[in-house]
Structure 1
Amino acid sequence: MVLAAVVMWAATNIDNLVVSTALFLRSARLGSPRPWQILAGQYLGSTCLIAVSLLAAVGLMIVPESWVGLLGLLPLALGIYGLVGAVRAGKGERDLPTMGVLPVTSIVVANGADNLNVYSAAFRVFPAAQNVLTIVVFLALVGVWCLVAWFATTRKRVLSVLDHVRRWLVPALYMVIGTTILVRTGVLAHIAWLSGIR
């Protein structure tokens, strides 16, 4: 269960690691935002994303269990879209605001908006105990992510590698998550049964 949570967090937050590293680089160069502001913003933003995902998962309780797995199509679609984008020309770097906790929080929320689909689907499928464990692991990994990002500020080459790898790695992991949800919930078998495929 812990491994599943770690994989899900890593898959959906590699891009956030790059953003965090960029923020720590700016902090070292300009003194703003301060390291504690980056950490606080990361925790506030991540908590917001988790809370919204939980609310979405609760709202999905009215959906029959056999069809919940269709949510796996969302991260699967994100992955396919991301891979197509990775093949094409890369986008330019975003100009990241560097003042205080709220701008950092807004970056985390905006950057993680696509994670809501993955998290809400997982929270809906997982039992309550695993959801609690997943949230604990997520919150612990926020600190780990910040530590890794801070360390990377002394390794500019690391930032370049992460930025290059995330273009194909993140979409690939999204596709794995989406496929796992589809298989785990049995929705593919249900669709096959409705289609008369034996």
Structure 2
Amino acid sequence: MQLGVIGQAAGMFAVTNVDDLLLLALWFGRAPDRRAAGKVVAGQYLGFGAILAASVVGAVGAGFLPEGVVPYLGLLPILLGLRAAWEAWRSRRDGGSGDEGEQPVSGTGALAVAAVTLANGGDNIGVYVPVFASTDTAGLVIYAVVFLLLVGVWCAAGRFLATRPFVARAVSGWGHVLLPVVLIALGVLVLVEGGAFGPG
């Protein structure tokens, strides 16, 4: 059971933070020394910590909703997935390059990194809240611990990608395809497991 939650947490973090990995690669590429790189890591933790806190608060608030309403929170990631698919299609139609041009990378200070991480991860809250609301306290703790550990992994991967632009471009290409599919699948899973379509 716990291994399953760990796997779900890791998968959900990965697919909702593909674009953040690319931003990290850009920031680390602009960090001239170890101190600047440390500020990138600190900013990433600060920004993602705010996303996680807002998601937990949202899930607790959702806990006060009538029980029959909670499964329908799965509509949030479905809508976000449809929006991501629409934006990817529009970007391809307009000949744009996708996520790389959507968020400016203006500095490597901790607060700048945190602000962009929070703004770029705003949609994550809509994904995390229904999942957190449908799990128990132990599951919520597991999600939080796994997410925070993976922020460190993401920072290491971003530093790695900063020296390998070809890999970064490949991740960017897959992210446009994978993110909408997984968001929609996640929303459907929340609806089904919550009994939105009747008893399982």
Query: Normalization by structure 2: what TM-score?
Result: 0.88
Residue by residue over 1:120-169, the C-alpha shift from the partner in whole angstroms, topping out at 9 and shown as x without a partner, is: 11111011000001100000000000001111111110111122221121
Flag the 1:78–1:161 CA change in 2: closer, same or farther, 3 A.
same
CA-CA distance at 1:95 after TM superposition: 2.6
Write the letter of the residue equivalent to 1:110. Answer: A
CA-CA distance at 1:65 after TM superposition: 2.0
Alignment of 1:53-68 (within 5 A): 53-68=55-70
Matched, 1:131 2:140: yes
| Contact 1:32-1:100 within 8 A present in 2 as well | no
Alignment of 1:83-98 (within 5 A): 83-89=85-91, 90=96, 91=98, 93=101, 94-98=103-107
Rg comparison, structure with higher value: 1
Residue by residue over 1:102-127, the C-alpha shift from the partner in whole angstroms, topping out at 9 and shown as x without a partner, is: 00000110000011111111111011
Matched, 1:20 2:29: no
SS of residue in 2 equivalent to 1:117: helix
Write the letter of the residue equivalent to 2:15. Answer: A
Q: Distance in 1 between matches of 2:30 and 2:108?
A: 10
| Contact 2:30-2:108 within 8 A present in 1 as well | no
| Contact 2:78-2:183 within 8 A present in 1 as well | yes
CA-CA distance at 1:33 after TM superposition: 8.0
Flag the 1:114–1:33 CA change in 2: closer, same or farther, 3 A.
farther
Q: Distance in 2 between matches of 1:98 and 1:55?
A: 30
Counterpart position of 2:110: 101
Write the letter of the residue equivalent to 1:5. Answer: A
CA-CA distance at 1:99 after TM superposition: 3.8
Query: Normalization by structure 1: what TM-score?
Result: 0.89
Name stretches of at least 5 consecutive residues in structure 1 with no aligned partner: 191-198
| Contact 2:71-2:191 within 8 A present in 1 as well | yes
Name stretches of at least 5 consecutive residues in structure 2 with no aligned partner: none
| Contact 2:40-2:108 within 8 A present in 1 as well | no
Flag the 1:33–1:119 CA change in 2: closer, same or farther, 3 A.
farther
Write the letter of the residue equivalent to 1:10. Answer: A
Q: Distance in 1 between matches of 2:81 and 2:30?
A: 30
Q: Distance in 2 between matches of 1:11 and 1:185?
A: 22
Aligned-residue RMSD, C-alpha: 1.7
SS of residue in 2 equivalent to 1:52: helix
Q: Distance in 1 between matches of 2:75 and 2:147?
A: 23
